[in-house]
Amino acid sequence: MSINSATPQDWDNLRQRYPAIERTDKDMQPVTEDMVNSPGHYTQGKVECIEGIQESMTTESYQGYCKGAAMKYLWRYERKGKPVEDLQKCRWYLDRLIASHQEQSET
């Protein structure tokens, strides 16, 4: 059998023999990935990518990064097939830009 000649029954048999591994929390409950607020591919160890980016930049640079990322998602949200998700990602970066300016004005 090759991948090109596999039947639906062949795929069902494989799924039964090799079930998918689900991500679980500390209590072994299934975890649904949040693709907007905390996608798994943006975390390495205990550090989220956005935290590492913020720590590696000046405040002004970080604000520019957030502005650019928000603009990117707003620019292309109609073309990627998931407009609501991309608009939520835009808001995610915009919220961080706002928070950074608020923190800056408090100091």
Query: What is the number of structural domains in the chain?
Result: 1
Mean pLDDT for all residues in the chain: 84
Lowest-pLDDT range of 1-10, 28-37, 78-87: 28-37
Q: What pTM does this model have?
A: 0.63
Instruction: Please give the angle made by the CA atoms of 19, 21 and 23, to the nearest 5 degrees.
Output: 150
pLDDT reading at 34 higher than 90: no
Domain that holds residue 87: 3-106
Instruction: For the chain, give the percent of residues with pLDDT over 70.
Output: 80
- Look at 102 and 12; give whichever has higher pLDDT: 102
**pLDDT value at position 80?**
86
**Token digits of residue 1:** 């059998």
Handedness of CA 54, 56, 60, 63 (dihedral sign): negative
Q: Tell me the residue type at 2.
A: S
pLDDT reading at 4 higher than 80: no
Going by pLDDT thresholds of 50, 70 and 90, the confidence category of residue 87 is very high
